[in-house]
């Protein structure tokens, strides 16, 4: 996620000028809390609860949010990018979903007006269908 976008989520009044390696530790707790609110995942009609969330500042000064959920039930998994609604019109992003072995289960470009995405979770031991490749930057 672009740093400016992440900052808008934790600091809507824009008091934090930028995230750096020097100040990231001070803002990490708010960013990790925000990571847990980014998405709403629903499987078998139950909302999944976040197990863990981490953040990482990239060399390009973007943020990577890694959010771990319990394994969903086999079948459809519904994802809703709740953060896009809070940001407002014009915002979007690419959501990539990987399993615990880092196998890609799917991806979608989400927009403020279309924040929802669905993937299929195979039964344990079954192979997931291969998703379309991610677009090249």
pTM for this entry = 0.79
pLDDT at 65 over 70: yes
Residue whose pair of structure tokens reads 């399993």 in the numeric block: 99
Instruction: Output the pLDDT for position 131.
Output: 61
Instruction: Output the pLDDT for position 43.
Output: 96
Average confidence (pLDDT) over 59-82: 94
Indicate whether 128 belongs to any domain: no
Instruction: Output the pLDDT for position 22.
Output: 92
* Residue 92, number of CB atoms within 10 A of its CB: 16
Indicate whether 21 belongs to any domain: yes
Indicate whether 27 belongs to any domain: yes
Instruction: Output the pLDDT for position 128.
Output: 56
Instruction: Output the pLDDT for position 67.
Output: 92
Phi, psi for 42 (deg, rounded to 5): -130, 130
Q: Into how many domains does the chain fold?
A: 1
Closest to 120 in 3D by CA, of 73, 84, 65: 73
Indicate whether 103 belongs to any domain: yes
Indicate whether 136 belongs to any domain: no
Indicate whether 127 belongs to any domain: no
Structural domain containing residue 70: 3-121
Percent residues over pLDDT 90 in the chain: 72
Average confidence (pLDDT) over 11-25: 90
């Amino acid at each position: 996620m672009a740093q400016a976008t992440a900052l808008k989520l934790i600091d809507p009044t824009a008091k934090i000028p930028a995230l750096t390696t020097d100040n990231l530790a001070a803002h990490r707790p708010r960013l990790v809390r925000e990571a847990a609110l980014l998405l709403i995942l629903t499987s078998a009609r139950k909302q999944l609860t976040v197990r863990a969330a981490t953040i990482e500042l990239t060399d390009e000064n973007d943020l990577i949010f890694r959010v771990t959920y319990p394994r969903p039930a086999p079948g459809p998994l519904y994802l809703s990018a709740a953060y896009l609604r809070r940001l407002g019109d014009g915002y979007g992003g690419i959501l990539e979903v990987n399993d615990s072995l880092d196998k890609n289960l799917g991806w979608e470009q989400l927009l403020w007006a279309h924040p929802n995405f669905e993937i299929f979770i195979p039964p344990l031991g079954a192979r997931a269908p291969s998703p379309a490749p991610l677009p090249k930057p």
